[in-house]
Chains A and B, each alone.
Chain A
Amino acid sequence: MTPGYFDHAAATPVRPEVLTAMLPYFTERFGNPSAVYDLGSAIKDLMEVHRAKVAGLIGASPEGIVFTSSGAEANNLAIKGAALAHLKKGRHLIVSAIEHHSVLNAARYLEKFHDFEVTFLPVDRRGQLDPERLRRALTPATVIVSIQHASNEIGTVQRLAELAAVCREAGVLFHSDAVASIGQLPVQVKELGVDLLSLAGPALGAPKGVGALYFRRGLRLVPQIHSGIQENGRRGGTENVPGIVGLGVAAELARRELPEKAAYLKALRDRLAAGVRELIPHTLCTGHPEERLPGHASFCFEGIEGEALVFLLNRQGIYANTGSACASKALKVSPTLCALGISPDLAQGSLVFTLSCGNRAEEVDQVLAELPRAVEKLRSFSPVWRKKTAAFSGGSA
């Protein structure tokens, strides 16, 4: 564990028991699962054991799991794969305005290269999508709707079962990106009523480079990586066997640990969020106050910029993330924060903490000691803050 690390949405350490289970598959058990001799076929059998473990975490049957290289690839396969397999129905798809880039840009790809019409549905100020609004956006040409389960930027959890029900009634495919929620919230594909669902390894303590897509039995998907008949022809390329073993082991651990983990994270998160609200005036808590990921706290501090804040915290051994424009390579403020109706200058002061069970209360207390100082320092020479405080005090500063 790295003390002070609060960016588990970006990367997580691999759990030791997961790593131990993976190691033999890099060296002595290196066979290709497609090979028919023992060294290969044993690996094929083993892969199916781990497929069943991943399926078990989400209440699916193993035949409904395709292994991918990441959550992003799972999202691409779901949206492009399902849309291109159902062109006869139409060329309209719906996503929310706060989806991950892999969803937004897969939709834009279909718009640009396959003449799809894309509806980017707005969310409310807390980040939730209204099922009625979704119902009104459906057209006879709508092929697929993709709405995330939870946001790794603002923590908001969608009322997914209601949204999925709207699509089911209309006979429209429903996909959900559950990369942020898997391992933190119960994710049961039948209860949620989803046709497709994406997940990835890091949220579970499995390594980067492995993910999975669930698809409902019989659902047609056009592969996005063309090769042989790996994954029953749905995803070409020799399988990442160590990654798949890691994902399977991590999924099994996650299934057992989920209730305890959620309670632990929520207590830690509440300590952090309450402390920040109390200690730092003029702070906006972004996302939904209750219906949010248990391990997620996100804020916008007035009058300062997030990249500078991240660097000040970094100096104190605290690692958090920001949706500030200055911290993004494209120099654009997070589309998610914009979609909540947060003004661009307030959105610049974004700071996001994503916790794991490796975090301890003492680390949260260290944040509560250092963060107010860092915000205060940046505000002390911020012209924006000076103007705001002049306005608060009703006179000139």
Chain B
Amino acid sequence: MYSEVVLEHFNNPHHAGVIEDADGVGEVGNPTCGDMMTFYIKVRDDVIEDIKFQTFGCVAAIAVSSMVSDLAKGKSLAEARKITKKAVAEALGGLPANKMHCSNLGADALALAIDNYQEKQAARRPEHSPQ
């Protein structure tokens, strides 16, 4: 039912954990509907320098989180935003049809973490800024 790549990421997830002083945090889903993911990013010069995730969910949800963290690390924020659910599923060698929507939330969580970082940056900008 799951591809080799999915099982490999599930068994040995990359970047699982928390960044306590994260620059951006994004959370999607809720445990009631099955899956919940939280992404933490550290950003330097508009590049995702470090990334961690926490995931409550099935094999697919954990593999998706791991894959998204791999795809996003080292990318600029603009590039990271372009990571689609489809690309994540393809990189994983496919996902079962019924898991495509409910468990494939990693890209959404990452986008929310980027939003969160950029909102914080905007808030920090001096009010007298020329813009």
Contacts and interface: CB of A to CB of B under 8 A. Distances in A.
B117 interface: no
A30 B30 CA distance: 57
A326 B55 contact: no
Given A308-B58, A382-B54, A326 B34 contact: yes
B35 interface: yes
Contacts of A282: none
A344 B10 contact: no
A184 to B, nearest CB: 31
Nearest to A303: B56
Nearest to A330: B98
A327 B1 CA distance: 11
Nearest to B103: A326
Contacts of B99: 326
A156 interface: no
Contacts of A343: 32
Q: Which of B13, B53, B58 has the most CB of A within 10 A?
A: B58
Interface stretch (A82-90, A246-254, A383-391): A383-391
A324 interface: yes
Interface residues of B, number: 31
B56 A382 contact: yes
Interface string A295-315: 000000001110110011001
A1 interface: no
Contacts of B60: 326
B18 A384 contact: no
Contacts of B98: 329, 331
B71 interface: no
A26 interface: no
B38 interface: yes
A353 to B, nearest CB: 20
B54 A381 contact: yes
Interface residues of A, number: 25
B62 A383 contact: no
A267 B7 CA distance: 35
Interface string A329-358: 101000000000001110010000000000
A307 B56 CA distance: 11
Given A325-B34, A345-B31, A348-B31, A304 B58 contact: no
Contacts of B105: none
Q: Say whether chain B's binding surface is mostly helix, strand, loop, or mixed.
A: mixed
Nearest to B36: A383
A238 interface: no
Nearest to B6: A311
A304 B61 CA distance: 12
A308 to B, nearest CB: 5
Interface in B1-29: 7, 10-11, 13, 16-18, 27
B32 A381 contact: no
A381 B58 contact: no
A227 interface: no
Contacts of A382: 54-56
A307 B59 contact: yes
Given A326-B103, A381-B17, A308 B34 contact: no
B102 interface: yes
Contacts of A344: 31-33
A34 interface: no
In the A-B complex, the 10 residue pairs with the smallest Cβ-Cβ separation, listed nearest first, are A345-B31, A326-B58, A381-B16, A383-B54, A307-B58, A344-B32, A384-B56, A383-B38, A382-B56, A384-B31
10 contacts: A305-B34, A315-B11, A324-B58, A325-B34, A326-B57, A327-B58, A343-B32, A348-B56, A383-B56, A384-B56
